Each structure stands twice: as structure tokens, then as C-alpha cells.
A and B are shown apart, each in its own frame.
Chain A
Amino acid sequence: MKILPLVINNLNFNISNNKILKDINLNSNEKKITIIAGNNGSGKSTLLKILHGLIETPRNTIQWGGFSIPEIKHSQSMVFQSPILLNRTTYDNLLYVVKNKKIKDKYYIDKIVEKLNLKSIEKVNTKYISGGERQKVAIAMSIIGDPKIIFLDEPTSQLDPAYKNEIEGIIKDLAENETKIFMTSHDIAQIKRIGKEMIFLDKGEVIYNNTVEKFFKDEQSELIESYIHYG
């Protein structure tokens, strides 16, 4: 299933009379990591949720390689800023996703546990693990079934440098293995380290869409320069 290009046609999204996203038009062919950045309230998380189908939009507004969101939903997953985990052990959280994705391989969870280095917390209820571990479990759940697209909403914003480094490694590894990553981030150093494409939003509008390299190299608007400077 070909998921690129991602085409967005005239995407608008309002809550009551408040315009959250305005006239977004995009055509993206980036295969690896696309960063969605912007100040608080710029619409980053909303855009991510719309791309994942958690917020419905008119049909044909968004096309993934010619497919609509419902057609491609089973090939997507998402990791939220505050990881959402069931009140069960790490193993049972993974088992829940494996069962619902009807994966038959009985060693599948073991492979995921090993890949993400979760052995030490495998039998621990996720209520009792640290923030970084929770985020790793959430990422582990998101990669079950090898989705073609993963959305990450500020996945490292609450983590210490060690976990940040570990999770960035996992994200880079996923992108290298042909998983398309969409990720929101405020962390300029992180964006420079792993980002390939940049979508910059301001008050619901896309004001920059090009490579991350150009984002930092070229002269930008005052708003973006200020974002880079203080980021």
C-alpha cells in the first residue's frame, strides 16, 4: 500500500467560532520524519489528530497516496504527549494491542520487548513505571503490526536527556525501516537532529513547509527566527 504523497486540500477546522486550522494545503513526499512545529495553540496537535483520523474532516480533504483516512487507518498509530496506557502490566498492554490487531505470532511480544528494552518492566503494572518507561511502552504499543505511519505528539517533552536520547534512537530506527513519522516538537536541537521535513504552523496556518535543513539555513520570518532563537 503506497501512502505517499500526503495531499491536504483546503483543510479548515473550527471549534465553535474559533478557527483552529485555516486553509491548509500541502503536498508531502517526505518518506522519513516530518516535524510539525509552532507555538502553543498553533494547531499542531489538532493537525496530527486530523491526519490520524481522530478528528473527522470532509471526505477527500486528506489523501494518503490516493487513499482516504478510513482506508488507511489500520496502517497508522499514534503516541500521545501523555502516554495513555491501560491499568495492566506492560506485557498485558502489549498483548491487548496484539490481540486486537489479530497477530498470531506467539513470540511477537517477546520481540517487541527485546527491541525496546522493556524486559525489566514487562511484568510491572504501568501505573508504577516512570514517565520515560511509560513513553517507551506507548511507542512499543504503537509499532505493533508494523504500521506504515506513526504520529508522535511531543513524545519526549517530559523526559530527561537519557530517555530523550533513547526514544530519538527508536524514532530514527523506525524511520530508517520505512515507517513514516509525523511528530510535533518544540525542541529545536531535536528537530535539527532527526527532522527531515518541517511544517510550521502559526495560528492555524502553514507558514513554512520545506526541508528542516532549509528551515534553519534560510532567512525566515521574524516569528520563526524568534521561535528558533528561544527554542
Chain B
Amino acid sequence: MLINILETAFNLIITFDKDLFEIIGLSLKVTMSALIIAVTISIPFGAYLVFFKNKLQNLVVLFSNTLMGMPPVVLGLLIYTLVSKKGIFGFLDILYTPTAMILAQTLLIIPIVVSLTYEEIYKKNKEYNLLLNSLNLSRLTKLKTLVYESRYALITVALTGFGRASAEVGAVMIVGGNINHFTRVMTTSIAFETSKGSIELAVALGLILITISFIITLLIKSLRKIS
């Protein structure tokens, strides 16, 4: 039976099954959009935190570290209450749309990228602080230098965020609703197809997810080596 399932799953992949690749396409679109937004906000923010030597810095880092461990389903619920018709952002009318899913994944990635960026930049700042201060550079120039010097580590941070978002199911299920041809992504589709007994498509998607995860792990490993 397992061999039959795997055979059908591989068949779906190698024949470029329309439904399968539509789901993969939407998944990548949602996760990549969330990643770009999250990284654009979080890397400068996480890096800039290094220059604040006060309680605010500690508080933000502590808060961000706490949010890193937040269950996605709770985050999904929170966004649901905000964007549902009765929520304070209900007027945006984004519930059960890819936009809401992007929002959920962005909020899921932000704490990860902020915390890990802060850690990386903090280490680099310790290493280069004296040189950069000695050169009498502006804070912006220092920040750009530290980000550039941490570039490989920061790419691994982004990949970590991507890995977390692409494997997540709870939040996108709640705010996206898993609507066929509209908000159905790989993880929600696996859960749905399995529940209705259509295991072949779920396995094919699972194989794709594992492949993505494997590629991310390989990239992180080689980037760590370089950095």
C-alpha cells in the first residue's frame, strides 16, 4: 500500500500535476512575501537594537525571544480576532485571503529574525566596536558595516525564518481557511487531504516540504561554513 501511495505521489510530482503545483506556488508566494516583509523590517530593527544600552533593549529582546516560542495557532487566533468582521481591522476585509496568511506568517517570522539578528549583530559589534568607534563613523555607517560583515549569518537567519513559516499550519489554517484554489497551501492541504483519506496528494506535498527543508538545511550549513 505504501509503495502504491509513493508511486502515485511521485507521479503527481513528475507530471507537474496542476493542483499540486498551484498549492506549491501559493505556498511559496505567501511565505516569500512574508519573509521579504519580515526581513525588511526585522534586520534593521534587530541590528539597531545593539546600539541601545538600556532597559528598553533588554525588554525588546526578551519580548522578541518570548514571541519566538509562541504557538502559531495562538498567533492565528489573535490575527483572526483582529481581522474578522467584528475585529478592529475587520474593515480591511482580508480574512480568508492570502493577504491574511502573509500577515500571519510575517508576524510569525518577525520575532525570530529580530532575535537572531540581534544576537549576530551583537557578536559582530563586540568584535568591531573599537575599530568603528576609532574611525569616528556615524551610527548608520556602523550599522551598515555590521550588517555587511554579518551577511552570511543573516542569510541563515532569513532561511531559518523561511523554514519556520513554510512548515507552519495552525495560523494559516485559521486566517486563510484552506479554500481550494484560493488559500490552500502545502501544510493546510496536507492536513485536509489526510483527514479526508486522500493520502497521495498529502504525501506528494510532504515530499516537496521535506525537499524544501533539506535544501534550507544544506544552505544554512554551507553559509555557516562560509561565515
Q: Do A and B bind each other?
A: yes
* Interfacial residues, chain A to chain B (CB-CB below 8 A): 52, 54, 73-74, 77-78, 80, 84-87, 96-97, 100
Q: How many residues of B contact A (CB 8 A)?
A: 12
- CB closest chain-B residue, reference A138: B131
- B133:A100 contact, CB within 8 angstroms: no
- B134:A52 contact, CB within 8 angstroms: yes
- CB closest chain-B residue, reference A77: B134
- B130:A87 contact, CB within 8 angstroms: no
Q: In terms of DSSP, what is the predominant structure of the interface of chain B?
A: helix
**CB-contact partner of A100 in B127, B128, B130, B137, under 8 A:** B137
* A78 and B134 in contact, given A84-B127, A86-B145 (Cβ under 8 angstroms): yes
A-B pairs, 9 with minimum CB distance: A84-B131, A78-B134, A73-B136, A54-B133, A74-B136, A87-B149, A84-B130, A100-B135, A80-B130
- CA–CA, A132 and B141, complex, Å: 28
- CB closest chain-B residue, reference A78: B134
Residues of B within 8 A of A54 (CB): 130, 133-134
- B131:A80 contact, CB within 8 angstroms: yes
Beyond contacts A74-B136, A78-B134: 10 other A-B pairs, Cβ-Cβ < 8 A, are A54-B130, A73-B136, A77-B134, A80-B131, A85-B131, A86-B128, A86-B131, A87-B149, A100-B137, A100-B141
Residues of B within 8 A of A52 (CB): 134
Q: Could you tell me which residues of chain B, from 71 to 108, have a CB within 8 Å of some CB in chain A?
A: none
- B134:A86 contact, CB within 8 angstroms: no
Contact digits for B130-167, partner A, Cβ 8 Å, 1 yes 0 no: 11011111000100010001000000000000000000
Residues of B within 8 A of A86 (CB): 128, 131, 145, 149
